[in-house]
Chains A and B, each alone.
Chain A
Amino acid sequence: MMHSRAPDNAVIMPGMTDAVVDVRELRKTFSVTEREEGLAATLRSFVKRHRKDVNAVAGITFRIEPGEVVGFLGPNGAGKTTTLKMLSGLLHPSAGEASVLGYVPWRRENAYLGRMTLLMGNRTQLVWDIPAADSFRVLQEIYRIPEGQFRSTVNELTELLELQELVHKPVRNLSLGERMKVEFAAGLIHSPSVAFLDEPTIGLDISMQVRIRRFVAEYNRRSGATILLTSHYMDDVVALCKRVIVIHRGTLLYDGPLADLAERMAPYKVITATLHDGAASSTDLDAYGTVVSREEGRVTLRVDRQLAPERTARLVNDLGSRLADISVEDPPIEEVIDRVFTSEQTTVSA
């Protein structure tokens, strides 16, 4: 049975809490070379290089409690992956502190590495030329998993991910989706207490995305593992995360419930009215809100959040029997996130 192990010789840093992930003012600055285009600039760069500091992560603070599944959102280059790499121990930060399971990740102590995993959707950790089942055996020995626990975990992962047909084929013969499922099994074979998932469904078809989402939710439910997830597919986030952390240009913009994100970041509701007579294109609804789209028989309005109940009532009353259907919803999460990224808002914590 998958299980999270209790901390053994973890070192709790002074002032840090018993949160599974505790991050304080974490920063990462990369020094990158820059040059202008053209032959002259290229030749000059042989002699002298211009370096520029890029703040990939510019001082973020958050904590994650045991068993939480948190969505880590941001546009490309926001600093999400850099943060995950620091928390998993791949990168040393430029400043700040972090503790995961009581360990300082970048010390990369074996006791820590044995209790966490970093899964990157577009990267492979399996041996390409041999069946995954053989790679699992190697991982069993590396993580020193007792035979009984290994068999039980493999059986459980095989059942959850439907791997029966896949684990005995060389990894190079698997499709992208099949490989991703097997990668998940390899990444979780040591029953980590913390999983950092970086774009776990990238490039997968809709059906496979849904399966992976179900698996992550089930894994979290069964094992109680803490999960920090980045994804550009908002369906992943909606399906898995009650809480989201939004970063942009290395700075934390929002940390709180997903349900509150729309309320705080998008101060409007979307009213969709469907008319019986298909006369949506000719009906003047501008008085009820901002008309966003008109399709045959259907009008979508954007209405101030506070005014939404009153405008909806008026619409129902004024349109009377012409109204076939009406819905009032928060704007799509993609739209909310886009507003967050395009506006220069300061940190908001729920």
Chain B
Amino acid sequence: MIRTYRALFVAQIQAAAQYRVQSILWMLFSVMRPVIFLAAWVAVANAQGGQIGAYDTRDFAGYYVALALVTNLVFSWNAYDFEFEIRMGRLSPKLLRPLHPIHYAVVENLVWKMTTMIPLLLILGVVIVTFDARFRTTPMHLLLFVPSVLLAAALSFLGGWFLATTAFWTTRVHAVSTLWDRAVFIFAGQIAPLALLPGILKTISLALPFGYMLGVPTEILRGGVDVPTALALIGGQAFWVVVFYIAFVRLWRVGVRQYSAVGA
């Protein structure tokens, strides 16, 4: 499998090199949203004496810089690709090879993150300086961030594939994926840090998988939670990864029986 992944990596890096400008534009697009929210929250905080809850303007900057980095590492677009692959008949050749189609998507996803990481870090460096971002990160936080971001990426990826698999029945999953993305937008910590969400929204974000995708690794990276809380949140992430893994495997098994190979 390692040799297969290596070959897929080489091919995918070559393919990504053809579209490097597009990759950078997508990365810029993904970083715009946190920066806009950062500017908005800084304005609101300044209007209220420089502090909202436990966050001052420098904490907001730290939070949204961490969120932009986490978003890049966690982001998954496979549900949209999967629908396209089914409709264009491109899934069929993959299903007929002795390698699960999910592996191609894993590699594609990782390569995208790798190729956009350096320009992203440069942009975030500018944001850190501009907004004087504060991080309360300790070495322990950095240590815990590694499993947390990996679990968040797995959760986002498996969630996307779970939704995508419904395309075996519906052929189109765009509307469902968009609804999912909107839920992530509201509950995952993009509009505001989870700690600042109104009571019911905060409860929902941590009772459902959304908060564990972005908000949890973001808070761990910026040192916004203590270690016991971080460990509990990582436990929540692991729980949801297991849930989505089982759900995806089962749905896939039924879905491929349903597959009608339209367009192929």
Contact = CB atoms under 8 A, between A and B. Distances in A.
The reply to whether chain A is a binding partner of chain B is: yes
Nearest to B98: A110
A137 B6 CA distance: 10
A108 B95 contact: yes
A160 interface: no
A169 to B, nearest CB: 13
Interface stretch (B8-16, B30-38, B174-182, B215-223): B8-16
B96 A134 contact: no
B7 A129 contact: no
A252 to B, nearest CB: 22
A179 to B, nearest CB: 14
Contacts of A104: none
Interface in A250-301: none
Nearest to B3: A141
A91 B261 contact: yes
Contacts of B92: 85, 90, 118, 120, 123
Given A110-B98, A113-B97, 17 more contacts: A90-B92, A90-B259, A91-B259, A108-B256, A118-B93, A118-B96, A120-B89, A123-B92, A124-B90, A130-B11, A130-B18, A134-B10, A134-B11, A138-B10, A141-B3, A142-B97, A142-B99
Interface residues of A, number: 34
A130 B98 contact: no
B170 interface: no
Interface residues of B, number: 27
A111 B3 CA distance: 19
A55 interface: no
A88 interface: yes
Interface of B: 3-4, 6-8, 10-11, 14-15, 18-19, 89-90, 92-99, 256-257, 259-261, 264
A-B interface, 4 closest residue pairs, ranked by CB to CB distance from nearest: A125-B93, A110-B98, A141-B7, A129-B15
A89 B96 contact: yes
Interface centre among A111, A114, A134 (most CB of B within 10 A): A134
Contacts of A118: 92-93, 96
A129 to B, nearest CB: 4
A113 B18 contact: no
Given A90-B264, A91-B260, A123-B264, A142 B14 contact: no
A140 interface: yes
Contact of A113 (B8, B11, B96, B260): B96
B11 A127 contact: yes
Interface in A92-116: 92, 106, 108, 110-111, 113-114, 116
Given A30-B260, A91-B261, A123-B89, A137 B11 contact: yes
A24 to B, nearest CB: 20
Contact of B7 (A91, A123, A138): A138
B263 to A, nearest CB: 9
29 contacts: A85-B261, A89-B96, A90-B92, A90-B96, A90-B259, A92-B257, A108-B95, A111-B98, A113-B96, A114-B98, A120-B89, A124-B93, A125-B94, A128-B15, A129-B15, A134-B10, A134-B11, A137-B10, A138-B7, A139-B97, A140-B7, A141-B4, A141-B6, A141-B7, A141-B8, A142-B98, A142-B99, A143-B98, A170-B18
